[in-house]
Amino acid sequence: MIQQLPHTAPFSLVKSAPNGEQGDHQLERNPGMAFDLQQLDKIRINRSAVERRCASYGARRSIKKQQQAAWLLKAISLIDLTTLSGDDTEDRVRRLCSKAKQPLSVNLQQRLGIDELNLTTAAICVYHEMLTAAHTSLKGTGIHLAAVSTGFPAGLSPLPLRIAEIEYSVEAGADEIDIVISRRHVLEGNWQALYDEVKAFRAACGAAHLKTILATGELGNLANVAKASMVCMMAGADFIKTSTGKEVENATLPVSLVMVRMIREYHAQTGMYIGFKPAGGVSDSKTALLYMTMMQEELGRRWLEPDLFRFGASSLLGDIECQLDHYDTGYYSAAYRHPMA
């Protein structure tokens, strides 16, 4: 029975409440800081060292059997369950919300002995048009509601429209806003423009938390990723996020390590806790465990809670459910037995 495993003790499966509350501990939101170009000029990235460090995570730490089951249950509580397709319907979103509220089948929960945990995913993430259906379905559950915004995924609509889109989504019930930055500001080295843009987005969010999507696969190099991460945090971002999931290259461990190291640097300077969200490419349990290992080793245990770490994913949950079923029975079940919606 999973709840009796000693390795579950470090993992609290209680999801974070809106605005950063977690139990009796409420994180102070990042107020941002003055733009500092000199700090950006000091950033240097050694790509080969980054890649060596990433290769070490799986080699040095192996999570098996009972420990793996406990970590995978924790991973479920970190998922932003996402649907961002052109053919989304309100019925699909309602079914996805039902999955978020009950991510594992009743039978599997009972067999694992975890039915009293009331396990859910951290959030549902949808387009603005699907917010009303999602908000109604999630009411009273404590599950966060995130909306992608600012001309997602390209971010090329006029700035006033992007700001208005944030305001509409907050009014419709979103308590988290996933914005996309203007990649051209990064590619042109126009860091002041990026800072001003994200600062305007943060103001439009109000009480809703701001996740800034860097679209790292389109930023050219790791140094640009590092500088864009720092600028977004300077401008008041609550989370930095790798990708939209629509790029040719989405979340990777090297890119994520660079972003996480910037979070560590910003925390050392300001004392602020900034969240991290890999999205796109995290579709199986093995990859999720590598990311959790990275967070544990680079930032510490506190960053393995849903108010500071999320997976932006759709198919990940199905694979985790399959792995937990294998843990219980010794056999892998077919994917159709673990539908998302």
What tokens does 326 get? 């294998």
Q: Out of 175, 241, 307, 325, pick the active-site residue.
A: 241
Nearest one of 142, 94, 147 to 120, comparing CA atoms: 142
What DSSP string runs through 156-181? -S-HHHHHHHHHHHHHTT-SEEEEE-
- The answer to whether the beta carbons of residues 177 and 144 sit under 8 Å apart is no
Nearest one of 80, 178, 168 to 132, comparing CA atoms: 168
What is the residue whose two structure tokens read 């930095």?
Answer: 240
Distance (Å, rounded) from C-alpha 285 to C-alpha 275?
A: 21
| 277 catalytic residue (yes or no) | yes
- The answer to whether the beta carbons of residues 89 and 96 sit under 8 Å apart is no
| 24 catalytic residue (yes or no) | no
Q: Out of 74, 199, 227, 277, pick the active-site residue.
A: 277
Distance (Å, rounded) from C-alpha 174 to C-alpha 169?
A: 6
What is the residue whose two structure tokens read 């640009």?
Answer: 224
Distance (Å, rounded) from C-alpha 81 to C-alpha 70?
A: 20
Helices 285-298 and 316-329, packing angle to 10 deg:
100
- The answer to whether the beta carbons of residues 225 and 216 sit under 8 Å apart is yes
Q: Out of 80, 178, 238, 307, pick the active-site residue.
A: 178
- The answer to whether the beta carbons of residues 51 and 113 sit under 8 Å apart is no
Distance (Å, rounded) from C-alpha 31 to C-alpha 310?
A: 21
**25 by DSSP, 3-state: which?**
strand
Distance (Å, rounded) from C-alpha 237 to C-alpha 233?
A: 5
Nearest one of 7, 108, 111, 114 to 67, comparing CA atoms: 7
| 241 catalytic residue (yes or no) | yes
Residues known to be catalytic:
178, 241, 277
